[in-house]
Amino acid sequence: MHYLLPLSVYQIESLRHQATHTLSSRLRRAEPPLQSEVVEYMLDVGSNVWSLRRGRANLERLLAAFNLLVEAWKWFDQIRKWKNPISTMAVHFLYSMLILFPDMILPLVFLICVVHGASQFRKRPRHPPHMDTKLSLVESVQSDDFDEEFDTFPTSKNVKVLKKRYDRLRSIAGRMMTIIGDLATQAERLNSMLSWRDPRATSLFMAFCLIACIAFYLVPWRFFALGFGFFGMRHPRFRISIPSMPQNFFKRLPARTDSMI
């Protein structure tokens, strides 16, 4: 039934609290007795409560998971800057072959996955996973962070400590609010290209779409792909330091930022 009617988050949390209460009442009568705090920690009770240490640890876990994409972008940035001309020319040739023969794209992607997995065989973990203090950032946090993490809910601290923690939480939430606002601004700019908020920008974008429609109908897509790829990997001698025309056009599109109080 848990496949057809899965439990909600609140139901899972309620079951976790009931299991914690049952185990705590039994293990408290054992010899030696085990306190309820240990059972709650082992069962991850209150894992959804705010913890600065857990937030930073989860962020570093997320960055480490995307480390492969970051390394790939660094490699491509060296290619497009012609740090090694031989490698850049080899990438140009390989890119041309993939565009002219698109049936080889997916086989090559899976072959790269196989080769990368085989190359990581020597670095495979040889021991079972264990508690990692560096991953959990236990060695680099302050005592106040632990005091906040082990605090009861609702809190039992005085007003002075709560004021300090609230100010710190406001600074973190302010950075998050700035990032969310930037994402909302980009989405509104994307939406304003066809909303006639800026008639000149909408007219230019519609003219560009009409020309692109005719061009993509008359010219095969592989030639456009070759042109975009070679243009993105052009020599730094042919680059300019100012923002490109599409980027400048997109940044000038109207958003609803000025309408907010």
DSSP output for 83-124: SSHHHHHHHHHHHHHHHH-GGGHHHHHHHHHHHHHHHTSTT-
Token output for 160: 């002075």
As a whole number of angstroms, the distance between CA 139 and CA 114 comes to: 37
Look at residue 140 in the predicted model and tell me its pLDDT: 77
Mean pLDDT of 136-144: 76
User: Residue 82 — pLDDT band, cuts 50, 70, 90?
Assistant: confident
Mean residue pLDDT of the chain comes to 83
Q: Are 155 and 162 in contact (CB under 8 A)?
A: yes
What's the whole-number mean pLDDT along residues 34-54? 71
Give the model's pLDDT for residue 19. Answer: 82
Residue with the larger pLDDT of the pair 192 and 17: 192
pLDDT of residue 209: 92
Residue 69 phi/psi, 5° resolution? Answer: -65, -35
Assess whether the previous peptide bond of 154 is cis (omega < 30° from 0). yes
Average pLDDT for 103-129: 86
Q: Is residue 40 predicted with pLDDT exceeding 60?
A: yes
Lowest mean pLDDT among 7-21, 115-129, 140-154, 223-237: 140-154
Query: pLDDT value at position 168?
Result: 84
Confidence band for 210, pLDDT divided at 50, 70 and 90: very high
Average pLDDT on 42-70 reads: 77
Q: Look up residue 238 and give its DSSP letter.
A: G
**Cα distance between residue 259 and residue 191, in whole Å:** 16
- pLDDT number for residue 207: 93
| pLDDT classification of 211: cutoffs 50, 70, 90 | very high
Give the pLDDT score at 58: 83
Q: Are 46 and 40 in contact (CB under 8 A)?
A: yes
pLDDT above 80 for 74 = yes
Give 149 or 113, the one with higher predicted confidence: 113
**Contacting residues for 255 by C-beta, under 8 A, at least 6 apart:** 185, 188, 189, 192
